[in-house]
Amino acid sequence: MDLSGTLHMTQGKWLVANCGEMPSDNNCKLVIMGPESQRGDLLEAAISHAVKNHGHADSPQLRKDINSTFKAVQV
């Protein structure tokens, strides 16, 4: 299924933050995507989710850890 047109996604490299790939007490499956050019925005969204929904403290180490989990996909 091609969602790029349905979701109005521009072609190119996108980054994916997939909470389902992380250990979680509440079995979270949230997936957040953004264009590679908006890596900082994606990181802020993922950090906000980790703090608000999983009780993590915002720290340089958390930012580094989450940033390193982003996967690139071609749309």
pLDDT in tens, 10-52: 889 999 999 998 877 788 999 999 999 999 999 999 999 999 9
In degrees rounded to 5, what are phi and psi of residue 26? Answer: -105, 15
Q: What is the pTM of this model?
A: 0.87
Q: What is the pLDDT of residue 26?
A: 85
Bin 74: left if φ > 0, else alpha if -120 < ψ < 50, else beta: beta
Contact 31, 19 (CB under 8 A): yes
How are the residues of the chain apportioned to helix, strand and coil, as percentages rounded to the nearest 5?
Answer: 45, 20, 35
Residue among 24, 13, 74, 71 nearest 49 (CA)? 24
> What's the distance, Cα to Cα, between the start and end of the chain in Å?
12
Res. 3 pLDDT band, cuts 50 70 90: low
